[in-house]
Chains A and B, each alone.
Chain A
């Protein structure tokens, strides 16, 4: 595909519509049926909507905000804005009003495309509070419930398309000129950085940035036009932009949008994607769904799986080091795959998967091991939004769980002072939107300063330790990464989130853990432990014991200085709505340190109980302050969860 890097997204779209008018571009499950949209129809809708936007006064260089779940209209709106020489900025659909306000205000957005009543209500609330001063048009595409809204700013998507039809008749050929005017250096999207460090910043990514990243990725791992991709992660996320737009427009494979969040799993299975890119939480939740179902299955099934898994693990070990499996193991693997591993992949909807990627945050080695053992070619991608999401990646046949692999073609990588990773490639962004200070900080002489600490191992594979600021020094002087320990903890199916403290003034390492309501709840039912609420369940002595085992197991693999000495089970789940996690589910350390300061103090004090006040919201909207006592425990002397890493056995069998 020559010349792709010199094009813009709308120019590529026009090419695809010309070359493959009848091939499926987008597919959405609606009313229980997968409804296709061909490249020609897709382009037609983009053109109509673009003309409609132009009729409303959208001009070159302007930013269109899009707020909603993944639907064809999301992609159409983005491409329409780009056809007019504008850019799009995606907003996370579950974002609270403050986040929406920050982005809209900062990017001086005049046009917002919102999905449905829920999102429109959010915008109206902001508008009534006088906080959406710049917004002139709110375009919605799901009209249910909006029939009786009478606001001048509100417009239905189809109405904008009709405006477009009229403009086309008045000025035929005008849009083609606009599309031709576009240059690859134009900003295509503003992407919000995940903002573990405060308010999200808006990275300006050009068509050339995104397309060069996509071609480097596909130079290593080609994606076929016949491949399938299910788009279910927020399109505001760089990872989704990368595959669903940059790669798809260069290759011409089809995107499928699931019917609803609740049907995502079964829709995934129906499509059988050939390529997948998801953050760790998706892989973790897939793993825990396997663990839960295994623990509910019969003895025979568990035994068959345990055997198959053992063979799969051994075969994977050889495969990952680029070695061939011998005849004996090869035959065994065929059998294991048929009897045990393929059925698991099938249940997860991963049977046709050729390559899977994880990125956005580190994935625990044990989760990695599991997917390779069951035959999923899962690879780590390392990269920031500022470099279009990918700079370093595992290669097929050379995958090590503790590294993130080698730089992709066209990317230079250096380690500078204090182990900071810096990167340079054609995909490096041009700066943060209206934020020179932050730009100057991360962009120096064309190099992207990532703020991550890491080193290269003897074969040149990059090992990422953590955010440079977060790396901690243990009492004995060794460096360790809290994220690494947290991932160790999170491998237990019972642990949903963990925040590790230590280093600096703290003499030892402690952890604050929030349990996984679903798995711990199921476990409690099996053990005949009655409970009422999350808080109640989390404070059961039996649950403390259970998590104690998990903590002890995590400790086994850690150096002496980095072992967890004390832990506390939190009375609530960490929540992005409470600002404790980012929308991509990374822990916001600063917020947590502020909010749970008392608990952290207690973890290092000579006490076994800490009292916190918590604001409880009842169903009827009333709120009350409640005092809750949390116990602090030590995992010392507790038997580890399992002597060896055997995820398929965790939760299986009885507990002694």
Chain B
């Protein structure tokens, strides 16, 4: 009878504070362009870890390496959840199954599907039944579908998407679509959540909402969040640790206060923003 959620959305089994994602000496080159040069980032379980830097610094490239869209030429990326997984050689689908979920800078949702269906799709990596029984909606497939829907409904409740449940994603406002994308990633019960500019293009109010949800995901659900964001105010407010990239190099790393005081950062990024 309690209104507490039944499903644990945090997919990680690690202790808070232990090393979750270890990026070590990663270099990525596109022909003549050196996108990342020996980048190292250590993300601890339970943190909001922001990656910041000017345009073209290599932030998205780094995230793409982690989620398996790019293959770095050098270095290693290891996920420590449920044994050590080497991500640099794995297929993206495999990485997703290990618990790395992400959102994209340009919303990548199925525009003509409802919010509910998009979220259910986030459960795809966990679905076990075969095509035949799924088509017939019979036996274990049916039971699983009901269980998945239950989890998805908890995510809908958590992100307050009740009114949009049955609406087509394409008809929603930008801010809401971003929230749906966050929801879909959350439905995967991720160990690490990679958010690529979740607040880009939003007005102040939408940003505040989104920051609230990201914080809730981190604090209430306990999911580790790796966040790329341009809005320095937001980043300083919500992240535990920051890594600053400039021209593919890590130029600083530390708590928001430490980073804000770092002269190299001020020159590369904060200086021009202020």
Contact = CB atoms under 8 A, between A and B. Distances in A.
A260 B160 contact: yes
B165 A142 contact: no
Interface in A257-293: 259-260, 262-263, 266
A266 B162 CA distance: 11
Interface residues of A, number: 21
B158 interface: yes
Interface of B: 1-5, 116, 150, 153-154, 156-158, 160, 162-163, 165, 204-205, 208, 216, 220, 233
B7 to A, nearest CB: 11
Contact of B163 (A141, A161, A262): A262
B220 A619 contact: no
A31 B3 contact: no
Given A32-B162, A262-B162, A263-B163, A144 B220 contact: yes
A263 B116 CA distance: 15
Given A145-B220, A262-B163, A158 B150 contact: no
Contacts of B220: 144-145, 147
16 contacts: A32-B156, A32-B162, A32-B165, A45-B1, A141-B3, A143-B2, A144-B5, A145-B216, A157-B2, A158-B2, A260-B160, A260-B162, A262-B162, A262-B163, A263-B162, A619-B208
B150 A31 contact: yes
Contacts of B116: 32
A156 interface: yes
Contact of B204 (A142, A143, A161, A619): A619
Given A45-B1, A143-B4, A262-B163, 14 more contacts: A141-B3, A143-B2, A143-B3, A144-B3, A145-B220, A156-B2, A157-B2, A158-B1, A161-B1, A260-B162, A260-B163, A263-B162, A619-B208, A620-B233
Contacts of B160: 260, 262
Nearest to B150: A31
Nearest to A260: B162
A263 B153 CA distance: 15
- Please classify the interface of chain A as helix (H, G, I), strand (E, B), loop, or mixed, using the class held by over half of its residues: loop
Interface in A151-171: 156-158, 161
Nearest to B233: A620
A259 B156 CA distance: 12
A141 B160 CA distance: 18
A144 B158 contact: yes
Interface in A216-273: 259-260, 262-263, 266
A266 B165 CA distance: 12
A259 B2 contact: no
Nearest to B216: A145
Contacts of B163: 260, 262-263, 266
Interface string A34-76: 0000000000010000000000000000000000000000000
Given A144-B220, A260-B163, A263-B162, A31 B1 contact: no
A31 B208 contact: no
A67 to B, nearest CB: 16
Interface string A6-42: 0000000000000000000000001110000000000
B208 to A, nearest CB: 6
Interface string A619-649: 1100000000000000000000000000000
Most chain A beta carbons < 10 A, residue from B150, B156, B157: B157
B10 to A, nearest CB: 13
A568 to B, nearest CB: 28
